[in-house]
Amino acid sequence: MLTAKQQQLLQFIHERLSQNGVSPSFDEMKDALGLKSKSGVHRLINALEERGFIRRMANRARALEIIKQPDIHATVSAAPSNVISGNFGASPAPVSEPDVTDIPLHGKIAAGTPVEALERQDSFISVPNSMLGRGDCYALEISGDSMIELGILDGDTVIIESVTTARDGEVVVALVDREEATLKTFKKDGQHIVLIPANRDYETQILESGRVQVQGRLVGLIRQYH
């Protein structure tokens, strides 16, 4: 059984392959399904691949192959409203999107001494929409304890809205010297940028403004208790 969105995507890929032999791009899939981000498409593609409906063809961009189609004779008994049997001959029933969005999880960022931000393009995390900013967002794992007095602890996951400017007092992802990223409170002081920790054991950094590039601002935090 497939969810309505999974079947809708499978049908869309099937139609495009039948028309011109080329699978649609992630942007085209996103628009066709009315999704907010390509990360949602990524999640659906993974689900279809895991269930054996499609296969990604190695060393070829935008190359998807449909291996099988849902059993059109299958029926669903006492199933949730968002799970349906496959039928390429009919439009899938509309289903409301969950109140969450998948955003990229880009690895670890220092909340102490700056470290390189590790990019992991294939990792995503589901976040409540109420936690997201107005623009594109991504998540980072916190490494270090320099922001503990603001309640940001080692091992936390922070939600960052992509921005290039910041106001004094905002907690930002700052890229220092174009290669190292850190999470600190932002303050502008003339021709300098001040990056302020929230731990008295760490020193404030005062850097020439040309050495610092704002890459996002903190809009949310997720903590797991073990």
How far is residue 175 from each of residues 37, 39, 164, 220, measured CA to CA in Å?
Answer: 25, 24, 11, 19
Residue 67's nearest CA partner among 10, 2, 6 is 10
Q: Is 126 a catalytic residue?
A: no
Long-range Cβ contacts of 197-201 (<8 Å, 24+ apart):
197/111, 197/112, 197/146, 197/147, 198/146, 198/147, 198/148, 198/149, 198/150, 198/152, 199/112, 199/145, 199/146, 199/147, 199/148, 199/149, 200/149, 201/146
**DSSP-based three-state secondary structure for 138:** strand
Is 146 considered catalytic here? yes
Identify the helix (H) or strand (E) that includes residue 6: helix 4-20
Token code pair at residue 144: 């270090």
Catalytic residue among 184, 187, 188, 209: 184
Q: Where are the alpha helices (DSSP H) in 65-109?
A: none
Catalytic option among 23, 39, 143, 146: 146
Catalytic residues, which ones? 146, 184
